[in-house]
Amino acid sequence: MARTQKYKKLEKKVASKTSSAFFSFLTFIKNAALRIFKILDGKLTIMIVPHSQSKVVNFQTNVFALGLGVVLVFGIVASFFYFDRKAIGSRAEISRLSSQNRLTQASLDELRDENMNLMQAAKRFQTSLSQSLALLGITDSSNVARASVSNSDLSSLFGTQETVAGSMRETEDVKQLASYLENAVQPVEQIGKMLENQNTLFTEIPSIWPLKNINAHISMAFGPNVHPISGQWYIHKGIDFSTYRSGDPVIATASGQVVTVGYDASYGNYIIIKHKHGIYTRYAHLMSSRVTKGQFISQRDVIGYVGNTGVTTGPHLHYEVHIGSDVVDPAKYINVKLSN
């Protein structure tokens, strides 16, 4: 019981001290606020005394107003410097963007020039393609076949519609060119197939020189000639190719089947190859042959070697082309591929 009373007295004592300390703190705050208010409310008289005889100007204020004015002036000056720095940065950014814009404009102008050159090249390509298609007899219902009938303007070439609002003319031109090239794929593929077929045809007719040596030359042409041994005029039924030596490879001028490998007193060692379309070729005065009768060979296959067998005045190849029973000038067939 005594201990409880002791604790209660101690509790009252602590509460009393705490309350006293709190009221003392509030009193201190109050007195400090009054002092500060008194200081800020202190009257000040500012006098402006001119050097002339003008009237002295004076006005009264207090510390608070003066301090507030100083803060406002400082704030205005600081804001001026801050926004001035921002303005300088903005001008630098504007200058950078202007320079970048000039470079972009220059690049755009260059792109427009290149686009114009591209479209002009497209017109030339279109004209050449149309002429090629006409020569080859290829017809197409696309824009390619209707190329520049009335004029050379690209709008008629591509069937141009009005440019979409807000779109660049150059962008529209590129789209039209892409569409045109897409339509041109089929005719070009047709040309490729025709050339492939033509190339196949050229392998079936004697359209190349019968010698592999690029230094070979024609020593006697087809037709009327003076016989090199008898000295009499006669009809030379082929073309003589010479390299001034024996042993140079002789190649097949077209694909076909070997029908004869033999020897003749006049032709010496010779080979006859049967080709398509009723064409035969003869290769005479050979030193030796590399094929056998019945063998199928391809154009440019080596079939023998230049020699000096039979009636000759030196190493050479006598080459003939026959269509059925008729002998024809081999040069006409050799020139077929060269002229195309």
CATH 2.70.70.10 in the chain: give the residue spans. Answer: 217-339
pLDDT at residue 144, rounded to an integer: 46
Residue 285 pLDDT greater than 80, yes or no: yes
pLDDT at residue 147, rounded to an integer: 43
User: In angstroms, rounded to a whole number, what is the distance separating the alpha carbons of residues 172 and 160?
Assistant: 9
pLDDT-based confidence at 140, cuts 50/70/90?
Answer: low
Q: Please compute the mean of the pLDDT values over residues 233-237 and round it to a whole number.
A: 92
pLDDT at residue 332, rounded to an integer: 86
Q: Please compute the mean of the pLDDT values over residues 198-203 and round it to a whole number.
A: 71
pLDDT at residue 60, rounded to an integer: 73
pLDDT at residue 199, rounded to an integer: 67
Tell me whether residue 264 is exposed, middle or buried, using C-beta atoms within 10 angstroms of its C-beta: 0 to 12, 13 to 18, 19 or more: middle
User: In angstroms, rounded to a whole number, what is the distance separating the alpha carbons of residues 100 and 93?
Assistant: 10
pLDDT-based confidence at 155, cuts 50/70/90?
Answer: very low
**DSSP secondary structure letter of residue 137:** T
Residue 305 pLDDT greater than 90, yes or no: yes
pLDDT-based confidence at 26, cuts 50/70/90?
Answer: confident
User: In angstroms, rounded to a whole number, what is the distance separating the alpha carbons of residues 104 and 315?
Assistant: 73
pLDDT at residue 283, rounded to an integer: 97
Residue 40 pLDDT greater than 60, yes or no: yes
When mean pLDDT is compared across 75-84, 191-200, 279-288, the lowest value belongs to: 191-200
CATH number of 217-339: 2.70.70.10
pLDDT, tens only, 318-334: 999 999 889 999 998 88
Amino acid identity for residue 308 in this structure = N
pLDDT-based confidence at 157, cuts 50/70/90?
Answer: very low
DSSP notation for 167-231: --HHHHHHHHHHHHHHHHHHHHHHHHHHHHHHHHHHHHS--S-SBS-TT-EEEE-SEEEE-TTT-
**DSSP secondary structure letter of residue 276:** G
Residue 192 pLDDT greater than 70, yes or no: yes
Q: How far is CA 255 from CA 205, 277, 301, 339, in A?
A: 8, 12, 9, 21
